[in-house]
Amino acid sequence: MSNVWMITGAGRGMGLDFTKAALAAGHKVVATGRDPDKVGRAVGQSANLVVVKLDVNKPEDAEQAVKSAVERFGHIDVLVNNAASFFAGYFEELAPFQLDMQLMTSLIGPMNVTRAVLPVMRKQRDGKIISISSSAGFGGFEFGSAYAASKFALEGWMESVGAEVAPFGIQTMIVNPGFFRTELLTEESTNYAVPSIEDYAERRTQQLEFWKSYNGKQSGDPARLAQALLTLTNLDELPARFIAGADAIGIAEQKIATLQKQIDAHRRLSTSLDFDEAAATGN
């Protein structure tokens, strides 16, 4: 069955792979990006494609993009919240505007687009919303406080909104990719904190060397992730979460084990905190 996909950040990275895969599978695609000319050049031409300008940080752009999608194809079946950015650095050295930008792109942006799409899907009583998170969505890491904050928040929002819209036949899925060979770590996509605190100097140097050297060496293949999304969207019911990549599974399993240890370590204290009704009433 041919569906209408709306994909943010479609001109590069995972978004481009998602767009090409959906088109190759016979779906119609609304490919969006801040520079529609760039998106169009990257994707190429297709009768099943419409390219729309969309800066996810601008609610008016989201509303217009959805309007254009409905005018062209009549409906929207699958929304992929993919557009993202990466502000790396130690929290103390990250400027407030960098934290704001991280949250705007990776959290408020998907909210803007989803808010614009939901009226369409509610009317249809059908639709699938996929938000691309990260293994950083369930495991914070050194040098990644801003990024992890945005992804943790994205997941809390998605889990909540998923429960809100399920009665309308709308399904949601969080995708947690591990390290995939995209453009996220390129100079164009990664923004670093300006060094300002000597206490972090030695570790900062090591972190910068790691992140810059890891670009182009990630184990995950975004084209295969795109095919996995096609497989999942063809199911009658989306999984609430898809952990993508063996490395992401490893991080998730370690997180589960750590949480269990933390629960067990203070279980007695934790379970002793209920209100004592008898003591309160003197009985």
CB-neighbour burial class of residue 270 (10 A; exposed 0-12, middle 13-18, buried 19+): exposed
Tokens encoding 27 = 């779906």
**Which of the 8 DSSP states describes residue 56?**
T
For the sheet with 78-81, list strands across it. 49-53, 28-33, 4-7, 78-81, 127-132, 170-177, 241-244
Sorted by sequence, the CB contacts under 8 Å of residue 234 that are 6+ apart come out as: none
188: Cα within 13 Å, side-chain hemisphere: 4
Say if residues 11 and 17 touch (Cβ distance below 8 Å): no
> Is-catalytic flag, 38?
no
Catalytic residue among 90, 147, 192, 200: 147
**Active-site option among 85, 131, 133, 145:** 133
Active site residue 133: yes
> CA–CA separation, 233 vs 171, rounded Å?
10
* Active-site option among 106, 151, 192, 200: 151
- In degrees, rounded to 5, the angle at the alpha carbon of residue 12 between the alpha carbons of residues 9 and 13 is 95
What would the DSSP string read from start to end of 191-228? EEPPP--GGGHHHHHHHHHHHHHHTT--SB-HHHHHHH
Q: Is 219 a catalytic residue?
A: no
Evaluate whether 85 touches 150 at the Cβ level (below 8 Å): no
**Which positions are annotated as active-site residues?**
133, 147, 151
